[in-house]
Amino acid sequence: MEAPVELIVGLGNPGPNYQRTRHNAGADLVLELAKSLSVELKHESKFFGDTAKTIIANRTVRLLIPSTFMNLSGKSIGALAKFYQIAPENILIVHDELDLAPGTARFKKGGGHGGHNGLRDAIRCLGNSQLFARLRIGIGHPGQANQVADYVLKKASPSDQQLITNSIDDALRHLPTAVEGQWEKAMTALHSI
């Protein structure tokens, strides 16, 4: 049994301008998760984000969507993790992933930030720990590095958005297994879709 999940964070940018943009795929998943569990995320200024407490797989799990901008996500994650004494290895961060095609979602244990500014700040604010797990939601790549900034801040095409929504649904089905700390089982199930 590996580390169970005590905190699930969905990365994104705040405000209506960014809703349903590719960069907000992580926040979208946590919003869907909260909806499916009938819990309401409430703004907590001391955590710089919207948060809720729920039960998943018979475990108490906190949900968090930082209300900082993406590049400062760690400020929110660090504040909540410190307050509730949640270790990095018990945190799951859900984020958009350029290197995966729309329709693909993947669990990952640990690792670097891969150029993702939200993860970069999370690592910095968790005492440079990279031990947290990730749930990567594929958004595809625009093809050129210089197009990435614009690409992630735009809404996906309707067909791509449907694929992203499908991958979020797939990931949510296998999330309880990951929450229990059964990472290999969760990865095998999700990655074979």
Distance CA 190, CA 178 (A): 10
Three-class secondary structure of residue 21 per DSSP? strand
168 HSE (CA, 13 A, CB side) = 26
Catalytic residue among 23, 95, 116, 174: 23
CB-neighbour burial class of residue 119 (10 A; exposed 0-12, middle 13-18, buried 19+): buried
Catalytic site includes residue 95:
no
Distance CA 21, CA 88 (A): 27
Enter the tokens of residue 125.
């604010």
Neighbours of 191 (CB within 10 A): 12
User: Which of 58, 59, 26 is CA-nearest to residue 49?
Assistant: 26
Residues labelled catalytic: 23
